[in-house]
Structure 1
Amino acid sequence: MKKKVAIQGIRASFHEQAAFSFFGEDIQTVECNSFRETCEALKNKQCDYTVMAIENSIAGSILPNYALLRDFHFTIIGEVYLPIQLHLLALPGVKFEDVKYVESHPIAIRQCDDFFDAYPQLQVRERNDTAACAKRIREEQLTDTVAIANILAAKLYDLEILERRIESNKKNFTRFLVLSDPGNAEAIVENPDKASLSFQVGNEIGSLARILNIFSEENINLSKIQSMPVLGKRNEYNFYVDVEWQERRQYETALHKVLRYAVNFTNMGEYRKNEEA
């Protein structure tokens, strides 16, 4: 039976591309309109896994998704660093000089600022999903509109690439997390070397530094730190950190020490780190 994987967006979106990268293409994609909907699908057992974008090398962290991780208590079993290559897609035969409108997801649009500076006559329309823009052009036979999307969308919806690689920064990556229900026996990760942790600290001088120093002392690499305010509490924050290790013993020792100082500590998942392409 094929694995069911929930994604934000539709087929040929970057989320589906990330799912293919992690699981292979022999999966069943569950299309969802929002990130929350992907989490609801996993919670309600409408899928086996969820793939969720968490940060982009240009646009930064996707903060609402950290809140979803906190609220739904899923287990992170993997990550994918996906190179984001953005193309300008149109119906076959459409010429660039005929184009009036460009449609895509707001984050994709922001990643193409240099292109829009060069062609100020183009009117930009923000949509919910890159692939959905490509699909609409095909279904409605739009000859004055192009989409910014990936090569999967071009192939699936039989569109031509008018301009390739229009993203401003060619070293553009999005990091995706692969989420599972904690009770999924098939989602056990062997030999993990990375973990995502969340915790709070007391509002005293040096309380956060004390915890971060523990990781340093145990030779644990801190690859990411993100803070978010605790709702309804002034000057209190949830800290989300990603840590990497070579010796698991050092990682376990570090956790044992951190627990002395951290409040509301949660290990959100241990997994194999994915090196950037």
Structure 2
Amino acid sequence: MNDQVRIAIQGVKASFHEEAAYKYFGREIETIECDSFKKTCEMLKQGKADYVVMAIENSIAGSILPNYNLLRDYRFHIIGEVHLNIQQHLLALPGVKLADIQFVESHPIAIRQCDEFLSDHPEWIVKEGMDTAACAKKILDDKLTHTAAIASEAAAQLYGLTILEKRIETNKKNSTRFLILSNELEEQKNANKASLSFQTSHSIGALASVLQCFAEQNVNLSKIQSMPVVGRRNEYDFYVDVEWKKQADYDAAIRKVLKHTVNFSIMGEYIKNEKI
């Protein structure tokens, strides 16, 4: 019987999602490859996975907005987070030279992370793929001699590809934040960070009043993201991440915020993962 924890990831073996799963859970896990973020959520909902590791923001490309919609629709519990330093490389089949390359393929976010490098090669046709590692695997499987993939060193090793150019990401402090999602509420002892969602009234200063509640209680607002409410003009869901040193400050802030918001939800309380 397999007692390994099952983690649904978007992408294939050696993807950054698998790397993030290993960093959070350790290597004694089973990763379930999915071709979309929605599929990872379905696996968790159906009990075919124990957790989902989901990228939510990148330091270069910004927030991954469609994933906020998935968080809203599936209402999973956020039980943790992990930051991964992202290093992108240009990979090709052994023997292929830079001059041979006509096509470059990778995940859209990875492509955006390497804008400057790609702009130096306007002759290349850049194509979007499902996942960084999947694009690397495709080069091996289809023996593509004129195509390079943007992916990790782990992908190069796993699929037997050569690194033509190392560290092609625009910003060398390129990092991605991943959320750990569970269908069950798992209380995290010593939690010092929370992800919240809410709506406010249309009155002037409504959002400012909410943010003031956190400031008054020494609760730090580390992220705020707004998303349009589907089908309702000029209405927004706000997603905020907050951090605190004293639990009592956070509890007091939440009591205050409840008076200024509607559809308030604590999406998860967890331990902050320090950036690399």
1:254 maps to a residue whose letter is A
Partner of 1:164: 166
Structure 2 segments unaligned to the other structure (5+ residues): none
Spell out, residue by residue over 1:168-226, the C-alpha distance to the aligned partner (whole angstroms, 9 max, x if none). Answer: 1111111110000125xxx4322110000001111111111111101000000000001
Does 1:262 pair with 2:261?
A: yes
Partner of 1:66: 68
Counterpart CA distance in 2 for 1:215 and 1:125 is: 44
Partner of 1:24: 26
Partner of 1:251: 250
Partner of 1:207: 206
Does 1:239 pair with 2:238?
A: yes
Partner of 2:57: 55
Query: Comparing 97-106 with 21-30, which one deviates more in the overlay?
Result: 97-106
Partner of 1:6: 8
Query: Comparing 101-110 with 216-225, which one deviates more in the overlay?
Result: 101-110
Query: Comparing 219-228 with 102-111, which one deviates more in the overlay?
Result: 102-111
Does 1:101 pair with 2:109?
A: no
Partner of 2:140: 138
Query: Comparing 237-246 with 85-94, which one deviates more in the overlay?
Result: 85-94
Counterpart CA distance in 2 for 1:106 and 1:65 is: 14
Structure 1 segments unaligned to the other structure (5+ residues): none
1:110 maps to a residue whose letter is R
From 81, 88, 91, the counterpart of 1:89: 91
Count of residues in Structure 1 that have an aligned counterpart in Structure 2: 274
**TM-score, normalised by the number of residues in structure 1:** 0.96
Counterpart CA distance in 1 for 2:257 and 2:69 is: 22
SS at match of 2:127: strand
The equivalences for 1:158-197 within 5 A come to 158-183=160-185, 187-197=186-196
2:207 maps to a residue whose letter is L
2:17 maps to a residue whose letter is H
Partner of 1:223: 222
Counterpart CA distance in 2 for 1:137 and 1:246 is: 48
Identity score, percent: 62
Counterpart CA distance in 1 for 2:144 and 2:228 is: 44
Spell out, residue by residue over 1:38-68, the C-alpha distance to the aligned partner (whole angstroms, 9 max, x if none). Answer: 1111000000000111111111111111111
**TM-score, normalised by the number of residues in structure 2:** 0.97
From 38, 63, 83, the counterpart of 2:40: 38
Counterpart CA distance in 2 for 1:119 and 1:68 is: 36
2:20 maps to a residue whose letter is A
2:226 maps to a residue whose letter is S
Counterpart CA distance in 2 for 1:202 and 1:181 is: 30
Spell out, residue by residue over 1:65-97, the C-alpha distance to the aligned partner (whole angstroms, 9 max, x if none). Answer: 111111111000111111111001111122222
1:174 maps to a residue whose letter is T
SS at match of 2:245: coil
Which runs of 4 or more aligned residues in structure 1 lie more than 2 Å from their structure 2 counterparts after TM superposition? none
Counterpart CA distance in 2 for 1:120 and 1:191 is: 51
Query: Comparing 45-54 with 254-263, which one deviates more in the overlay?
Result: 254-263
